Structure 1
Amino acid sequence: MNPQWLATFAALVELGNFTRTAERLNLTQAAVSQHIKRLEESLGPLFIRHPRRLELTPAGHALLDYQREMDAADHRLQQRLTGDDDQQGEVSMITPGSIGLALYPRLLELQRASPQLCIRHRFAPTREVVEAVLDNRVELGIVTLRPDDPRLTASVFAREALELVVPAEARVNDWADLERLGFIDHPDGQEMATRLLSRRFPGFPGVRSLPCRGFTNQIGLILEPVALGLGFTVLPQFAREAFAYPETIRVVAGEPTVVDTLWLLHRAEWPLSARARRVLEAIGAGLTDRA
């Protein structure tokens, strides 16, 4: 579609009058009529012309939706190309669930300080994070395994321990205590529990030998049944720190520890936008000292 014709159409819809549209766009009324005629030659009638008003036809409504989508796409393009302004525009980030729970409140604080920023954050596993950054669907990503791809810059963002979390009043001295409590599982639960418990408990018989007391795939809900005394779980440190009722749970300390490195990803071929650099300054405070 000719952009000038679309602009004329949008102004005519808004103003409802050919004369005012011509004045708005600094065109002659004949030029406005010609633009609408050209569009109608391709799309069919766009307006029903009443004596004092214009009414959109179904084709007119469809074209108006299209014009608004084009305006929105143009706006997004301009935001992405003007990366020097750290006070406005869109910043996109994708992370695993645990670190995402820790970072999202910081992202909201940043957006509150700069309301013209648009923060887009999504939770995803490592494979999806890598794909999203490579496909330029997001600017920043965090993963638990460093990818081997020359198109990506990977730097240490933080380190995060796996934790054995039990109800606040529970005491765990041996494997029998875990069997008595039972396991609250989650999508990464058995893998994480195996990595931690196999090191903590000699003669580890395997997570599958434990009674399963529940399962959830929502990272923010895993500790709810633990807080109610329904079982224990193993999950990353930042997820536990984000839990709203810390007095209802307890971390069982012990050696050896299991600590994962979190890697910050972005495309290597071009520099980060000013907005992205500002986001990293905001979310890194208090986390980088653990890296």
Structure 2
Amino acid sequence: MLQPQWLRTFETVVELGNFTRAAERLDLTQAAVSQHIKHLETRLGPLLLRQPRQLELTPAGHALLDYQREMHAADQRLQQRLAGDDATQGDLSLITPGSIGLAIYPHLLALQGEAPGLTIRHRFGPTGEVIASVLDKRAEFGLATQQPEDSRLSVSLFAREALELVVPAGERVEGWADLVRLGFIDHPDGHDMATRLLSRCFPGNPGIGQLPCRGFTNQIGLILDPVAAGLGFSVLPRFARQAFARPEAIRVVEDLPRVMDSLWLLHRAEWPLTARATHAIEWLKNRL
């Protein structure tokens, strides 16, 4: 029988494409990772072709990877059956980007209030981390701002949210000159979001790079604080704006062309969502 740890090591090496990163992920030495792969290859024959910049699976390697995924799916189904798959009991793990995370978190607390037997573990992360966490089973499901193309994932549309131009409450924006006067409050997705929205609202403008930057923060919940203080404007998703605690201090510029972002629901395709996750997803959709 193949050792589960060897299989886990093999799967991680294939996922990351690198022995060193696999060792870091698994908290093993690189020598231990190499030894696990050697044990498997002694039993099954060559599994990996070691190219200078990449690893390539042999036919035996592909067969072993399929076997490992089937074992994961069977284990998940067994755990669900043993737990009774109660929608109101057990652990629920999810990961989301910041904007939608701010919007759903109060609803998750309300869900847990109605079902105290649930333990909800909600993490925030960018789309790359969301995908990796779901694939690595650190989260049962996630929400992503980009639609991944990975056969291991089940992907469906969860919601759509508009990008918004947000200014201090007392300000009016009638043209590009007003944005120059106000200045831009930037954030990690700021240039991309502002470019997509402002290119539609003010065609022919010099570009977001030509606007004075009045500040930057990488905390989604803090982006609108300097806007509320009158220090500039920003562009961000609607859910983040709706979660801001002082709506009277800001204003959304209305009657602009709409730019919509899609939010995608992800979970592993090999097994169904638990009753807990299915119930939570429906709970959230009904409240957004």
Is the structural similarity TM-score above 0.5?
yes
1:164 maps to a residue whose letter is L
Aligned to 2:175: 174
Aligned to 1:135: 136
Shift, 1:286, TM fit:
3.1
1:114 maps to a residue whose letter is A
Q: Does 1:279 align with 2:286?
A: no
Q: Is the 8 A contact 1:80 1:90 kept in 2?
A: no
1:130 maps to a residue whose letter is I
Aligned to 1:90: 91
Query: Counterparts of 1:89-128 in structure 2 under 5 Å?
Result: 89-128=90-129
SS of the counterpart of 1:244?
coil
Aligned to 1:195: 196
CA distance in 1, matches of 2:239, 2:157: 16
CA gap of 1:277–1:230, structure 2 versus 1, over 3 A, is: same
Q: Does 1:213 align with 2:214?
A: yes
For structure 1, which runs of at least 5 residues remain unmatched after alignment? 1-76
Aligned to 2:17: none
Q: Is the 8 A contact 2:80 2:274 kept in 1?
A: no
Query: Counterparts of 1:48-63 in structure 2 under 5 Å?
Result: none
Q: Is the 8 A contact 1:79 1:89 kept in 2?
A: no
Offset from partner CA, 1:214-272 (integer Å, 9 cap, x none): 11110000001101111000000000000111111111123321101111011111111
CA distance in 2, matches of 1:131, 1:81: 27
Deviating above 4 A after TM superposition, structure 1's stretches of 4 or more consecutive aligned residues are: 77-81
1:258 maps to a residue whose letter is V
CA distance in 2, matches of 1:181, 1:277: 45
Q: Is the 8 A contact 2:107 2:287 kept in 1?
A: no
Instruction: Determine what percentage of the aligned residue pairs are the same residue.
Output: 69
For structure 2, which runs of at least 5 residues remain unmatched after alignment? 1-77
Shift, 1:79, TM fit:
8.2
Q: Is the 8 A contact 1:216 1:222 kept in 2?
A: yes
Q: Is the 8 A contact 2:152 2:268 kept in 1?
A: yes
Report the count of equivalent residues: 211
Offset from partner CA, 1:126-150 (integer Å, 9 cap, x none): 1110111011110010011111111
CA distance in 1, matches of 2:115, 2:287: 21
CA distance in 2, matches of 1:203, 1:197: 10
Q: Is the 8 A contact 1:79 1:90 kept in 2?
A: no
Q: Is the 8 A contact 1:83 1:275 kept in 2?
A: no
Aligned to 1:46: none
CA distance in 2, matches of 1:244, 1:230: 17
* Aligned-pair Cα RMSD in Å: 1.6
Shift, 1:153, TM fit:
0.8
Shift, 1:88, TM fit:
1.3
CA distance in 2, matches of 1:211, 1:202: 19
Q: Is the 8 A contact 1:103 1:283 kept in 2?
A: yes
CA distance in 1, matches of 2:84, 2:269: 16
Shift, 1:80, TM fit:
9.5
TM-score by length of 1: 0.70
Shift, 1:151, TM fit:
1.1
CA distance in 2, matches of 1:173, 1:143: 34
Offset from partner CA, 1:152-199 (integer Å, 9 cap, x none): 111111001100000011000001100110100011111110111011
Aligned to 1:269: 270
SS of the counterpart of 1:150?
coil
CA distance in 2, matches of 1:272, 1:79: 9
CA distance in 1, matches of 2:81, 2:122: 16
Q: Is the 8 A contact 1:83 1:273 kept in 2?
A: no
Shift, 1:116, TM fit:
1.6
Q: Is the 8 A contact 1:94 1:141 kept in 2?
A: yes
Q: Is the 8 A contact 1:80 1:89 kept in 2?
A: no
